[in-house]
Structure 1
Amino acid sequence: MEKYVTKREKFAFAFAAMGSYMIAGFANGYLTIFFTDLLIVTPSFVFGLMLFARVWDMVNDPIMGIIVDKTNTKYGKMRPYVFIGAIAMFIFTILLFLPIYKAAPLTKMIYAAIMYICYGMAYTLVDVPAMGLMSVATPNSKEMADLLSFYVTIGSVAAVIPMGLIPLFVEIIPSKIWAYFAFAIFAGSLTAAAYLILFFKSKERCATQTASIKVRDMLKVVSKNKPMALTLLASMIAGTRYLIIPAAMYVATYVIRMGDLSAETVTLILSAIVGGGMFAGILLSPKLYAKFGYKRVYLTSAFVGAAFLGAGFFVGVYGNYYASLAFVAIGGLALGTYNVLPYPMVGDSLDYLEWKTGQRMEGVCFSLNSFVTKFNNAIGSIGIAIGLMAIGFKQPIESGVPLPQSEGTQRGIFALVTLIPAIGFLLSAIPIFFYDFCGEKKEQILAELAERRKACSVFKNNEEFDVCMEEAAEAKAEN
């Protein structure tokens, strides 16, 4: 099949992935400890803030997808929001990490709440259309899947950049809270530049217009996308894996110490150990699902993650924390595959949705995927907050000065990076058992879809083409 995405365009997507995942990795990995140990706001406040933000995302993310699908400008329906979102991300990333630790407690909480909500909205504004761009960059479904995998692979590697650079910022800037702020400026600037490059270099080649479709009809159509629903449900159940990155800072600060090394440096070492397995999973995923299919790779990864992270907890708690790291490293394989799989699977499901309904709804589908990603990130932040409250965590009194923790609290912190994620991996296998968009059924659906597209290609007008595809889907459903 013909390829459409140029090398420059692919580079633009890679740069955008690097910026997006780096800034998300920074916020997801360091924001909670920034709040509790540097800004000195209570874990209960962090819990309430994250919970409210996710409720708002349930409204905000689908609305963004609907707005994208109803947009029609000379720049396309997605690219304009990439441009606007790039600027918004730059502003609110910096403001989110503003070091106002000397302010009154109520002032800090109000400011943190406003900035975190604005940051989340800015992320939605740019992430939904950026992900959707890949689905309209090429009509070649294999090229789209490869582009999605490439995007996620680059992004997953970039997500650990903060762990490598923040120790350097901490060494250069004596005050840890100001070091975090400096990194926010760096990350915000790089991410904004990356998205602006994507805006100028990307092209929408097969976008369809859906201005005549009602909102309730769009949501009804998306509800018929069974493969996407099962994929996103599994990802949400396994969202406990998102505890690992933010909890790593607490493990490095309160559980596993390495001489005089800073907590950030210890976190880097621990992350490198786990990251070895994770990167192997990321790099192997495209080849594995190309050979064995999404379902088999997903289920295998679920059981690997559950077995080795669960074993790592018991080895660490009842044996030696350092010995447990070998098990956690192998468990990292599952982290890698779970980072990659949902994106091409959601992209793949658009063909199923088009076959089922005659409509693809890229914006809404990828907005739901964006919501699930943010939901999972929130599980990390909310889970840490709940965990700290449940295990009797002693919060610092002075910014950046940790207090000693009891043995029970240390075990509880370690469970957040091992046992709890293991349970999530195990339970996430349940929805995937019902995933059936694979094998002969998938081949038959794609063949039927290709025939419909060929038959409807006589209509050069987008609206007429869409109507033709919808009527073909309805006729199939009636038969």
Structure 2
Amino acid sequence: MENVAEKKYLKKKDYITFSMARFAASAVSGLAQGYLLIFYTAVLGVKPVSVGIMFLISKIFDGVDDPIMGSFIDKTRTRWGKLRPYLIFGAIPFGIITILLFLPINSFGSELKLVYMYVTYLLYGFVGSIVGVPLDGLPAVASPNNDERTKLISISRVVGSIGEQSALVLYSLFAIFMNMKYSYMTMGIIIGLIAPVFMLMGAFSIKERIKPTLDTTKLLDGFKYLFQNKQFGIMIISNLLTFFRNLVSASIIYVVSYIYGNGSLNIAFALPGAVAAMLGMLFAPKLKKKMDAKQLFIFSTIFHSLALLLVFIVGYKVPWIVTSALMFLAMLPVGILNVVPHLMAMDTLDYWEDKTGRRQEGVTFSIISLRGKVSSALKDFVLASFLTYFMFSTPLTTINDHSPWQLEFTQSGIFMLFTIIPAVLNLASIIPMFFYKLSGNRMLDIQKRLQTKRESDSENLLEKLEENSPEVFGSSQEICVDSESSDL
């Protein structure tokens, strides 16, 4: 019998097409998170505080969708698998909603604008859960080979990081010859049309080779798990507080538009930061050999805050290229911080298996997805609130449809949102880590016990194979779905 851990299941096209699906999802996410707030405030003329409240209410309501969606997925049984149907049938609605988000509804009254914003944004979150949770879960069932799963996740995340910057590239191009209102609408149309195509290519190409277990998850299991696995809960709280660092990327468009007076400089600030973050992701595995996940998280957070403090001290009255270069340094640890939560999640899964004998990957990653949505809502709410406090407004005189003529108090406030405010507040994410116990020798002991248990289980399986090979072969065939039967 060939060892499933050594057998290769994935082909080159699987890595390519799944990464394209991840690119599409990340492109939509990058567009919405990076430009929706300024579209609502600067184009539609809605007050920042109203937008912030809408983001907070909508995202918290929407964030509950993920654990519920995870429960529905675990109960799904089709000839195509339990994940792919949601991605296939949700891809086109996801693209349509993306386009609707950025329609310039300036002719609507103020109340009708808010109604439209709430409806489309709630639909964006709901449909995003329908395609997002299955997309996150597909690597876990695409192959029984752990090395292939790891490779699939790694490649798709790098490509996804590129997808997040696609809106930045488009905006920088359109800002040269197109006014702000139509540049956002055009970005929404382009990404909204491409995203479903890429998602469908990934969904039709990848196969679910691991059959679901007979047990099904109850609807409230996801919420219970958050409180039962205390180490996982601590990790979630800590990572929830990291939303403060997202103020940096969210403030870039305001810095280049209202301090340096040129919206097309957005790419000159954001792209080096994205490259730095990707380099950080590449360095993370090497640093992980020197320190555990907890130490790596604390080190990277402090490094990021100190680098932002340096940018703040230098100030914004220097040439923009100086600020951009310093931000490259500040964004290096962000790539590491994007990887560490997944390392910690794996540790909490091992801890829970060692404690209870159960692994709950689906619940774990659906709650991590929920955390991401709540963090995004908090980031938008805090940003909108600070913009209101710093008296941000959209004056009549504009350059590239962005006015550089804000009050000096407002410009200083925007730069603080870009630097010192996230530098200080992001340190709060370290506090829960003092209660996080899965590090050092304890984690090594857990992994040793699990390894011993798994080796014992393997020996028992071999003994059973010798006694009754037909029975074992029958059960092993239930683990992997035949490639032909999983095709559409």
Normalised TM-score (structure 2): 0.85
Q: Separation in 2 of the partners of 1:46 and 1:445?
A: 50
How far apart are residue 461 of structure 1 and its match?
5.7
* 1:410, distance to aligned residue in structure 2 (A): 1.0
Cα-to-partner distance string for 1:381-432 (whole Å, 9 max, x where unaligned): 2222111111111234699453622222111111112122222442223334
How many angstroms apart in 2 are the aligned matches of 1:289 and 1:36?
Answer: 42
- 2:198 pairs with 1:199: no
Report Cα offsets for 1:196-253 as digits up to 9, x if no partner.
1121122223343365443344543454444543433222111112112221111111
In structure 1, distance between residues paired with 2:71 and 2:267: 40
Secondary structure of 1:77 counterpart: coil
Q: Report if aligned partners of 2:247, 2:422 keep a CA contact under 8 Å in 1.
A: yes
- Alignment of 1:88 with 2:93, yes or no, is yes
1:299-348, CA deviations, whole angstroms, 9 ceiling, x for partnerless residues? 22111111111221122169777644443221101211122332354355
Closer, same or farther in 2 for the Cα pair 1:232/1:218, shift >3 Å?
closer
Q: Would you say the 8 A contact 2:71–2:218 is kept in 1? A: no
Task: Within 5 Å, give how 1:129-208 maps onto structure 2.
Answer: 129-172=134-177, 174-208=178-212
Q: Please show how residues 381-460 of structure 1 align to structure 2 within 5 Å.
A: 381-396=380-395, 400=401, 402=403, 404-433=405-434, 434-436=436-438, 439-451=443-455, 453-454=457-458
Q: Which of 337-346 and 55-64 deviates more?
A: 337-346
Judge conservation of contact 2:309–2:420 (CA < 8 Å) in 1.
yes
By how many angstroms is 1:102 displaced? 2.1
Q: Give the C-alpha shift of residue 50 in structure 1.
A: 0.5
1:455 to partner: Cα distance: 6.7
- How far apart are the structure 2 equivalents of 1:11 and 1:337? 24
- 2:78 aligned residue: 73
Match of 2:379 in 1: 380
Structure 1 residues 251 and 279: alpha-carbon distance in aligned structure 2, compared to 1, 3 A threshold: same
- Give the C-alpha shift of residue 97 in structure 1: 0.7
CA contact (8 A) 2:395 2:403 kept: yes
| Pairwise CA distance, 1:86 | 1.1
Return 420-429 or 31-40, whichever deviates more: 420-429
Q: CA deviation at 1:359?
A: 3.3
Distance change >3 Å, CA 100–CA 298, structure 1 → 2: same
CA 1:216–1:123 in 2, change beyond 3 Å: closer, same or farther? closer
- Mapped to 1, the partners of 2:328 and 2:39 lie a distance apart of 26
Q: Among 107, 110, 115, which residue is 1:105 paired with?
A: 110
AA aligned to 1:167 is S
Residue 160 of structure 1 and its aligned partner are, at CA, apart by 1.3
What pairs up with 1:18-97 in 2 under 5 angstroms? 18-97=23-102
Secondary structure of 2:403 counterpart:
coil
Give distance in 2, aligned partners of 1:412 and 1:207: 54
Residue 444 of structure 1 and its aligned partner are, at CA, apart by 1.4
1:109-124 equivalence runs, <5 A: 109-124=114-129
Cα 1:90/1:324, change in 2 over 3 Å: closer
In structure 2, the partner of 1:14 is 19
Aligned mate of 2:243, from 233, 239, 242 = 239
Q: 1:67 to 1:115 in 2, by over 3 A?
A: same
| Secondary structure in structure 2 of the residue aligned to 1:416 | helix
Q: Does 2:253 correspond to 1:252?
A: no
3-state secondary structure, aligned to 1:73? coil
Q: Report the more deviating stretch, 398-407 or 72-81.
A: 398-407
The whole-number CA distance in structure 1 between the counterparts of 2:174 and 2:29 is: 18
Match of 1:468 in 2: none
Structure 1 range deviating more: 133-142 or 395-404: 395-404
Could you list the per-position Cα deviations for residues 121-157 of structure 1 after superposition, in whole angstroms to 9, with x for gaps in the alignment? Answer: 1111111111011222234445434433332222122
Change (3 A) 1:191 1:445: farther
Residue identity in the other structure for 2:152: L
**CA 1:69 to 1:429, structure 2 compared with 1: closer, same or farther past 3 Å?**
same
Unmatched segments (≥5 aa) in structure 1: 466-479
Relative distance call for 1:95 and 1:455 in structure 2 (3 A) is farther
Amino acid at match of 1:284: F
The equivalent of 1:302 in structure 2 is 301
Between 410-419 and 3-12, the greater mean CA deviation after superposition = 3-12
Cα distance in 2 for partners of 1:290, 1:190 equals 39
Q: Is the 8 A contact 1:94 1:188 kept in 2?
A: yes
> How far apart, in 2, do the equivalents of 1:227 and 1:142 lie?
26
| Structure 1 residues 435 and 30: alpha-carbon distance in aligned structure 2, compared to 1, 3 A threshold | farther
Gaps spanning 5+ residues in structure 2: where?
Answer: 465-471, 480-488
- 1:410 partner amino acid: Q
Task: Report the residue type matching 2:334 in the other structure.
Answer: L
Give SS of 2:202's match.
helix
Bigger shift: 90-99 or 218-227? 218-227
The more displaced of 371-380 and 238-247 is 371-380
Distance 2:43 2:439 in 1: 47
Q: Which position in structure 1 is the counterpart of 2:469?
A: none
* Amino acid across the alignment from 2:314: V
How has the CA–CA distance of structure 1 residues 92 and 210 changed in structure 2, closer, same or farther, with 3 Å as cutoff?
Answer: farther
Q: By how many angstroms is 1:26 displaced? A: 0.9
CA distance in 1, matches of 2:143, 2:456: 18
Counting only pairs closer than 5 Å after superposition, residues 185-334 of structure 1 correspond to structure 2 as: 185-209=189-213, 211-221=215-225, 223-257=227-261, 262-263=262-263, 265-289=264-288, 292-316=291-315, 323-334=322-333
Identify the range of structure 1 (106-115 vs 278-287) with the bigger mean alpha-carbon deviation: 278-287
- Structure 2 counterpart of 1:436, which letter? L
Q: TM (normalized to structure 1)?
A: 0.87
Greater shift after overlay, 69-78 or 92-101? 69-78
| Structure 1 residues 298 and 207: alpha-carbon distance in aligned structure 2, compared to 1, 3 A threshold | farther
Q: 1:142 to 1:282 in 2, by over 3 A?
A: same
Q: Between 273-282 and 58-67, report the one with greater CA deviation.
A: 273-282
- C-alpha RMSD over aligned residues: 2.8
Q: How many percent of aligned residue pairs carry the same amino acid?
A: 32
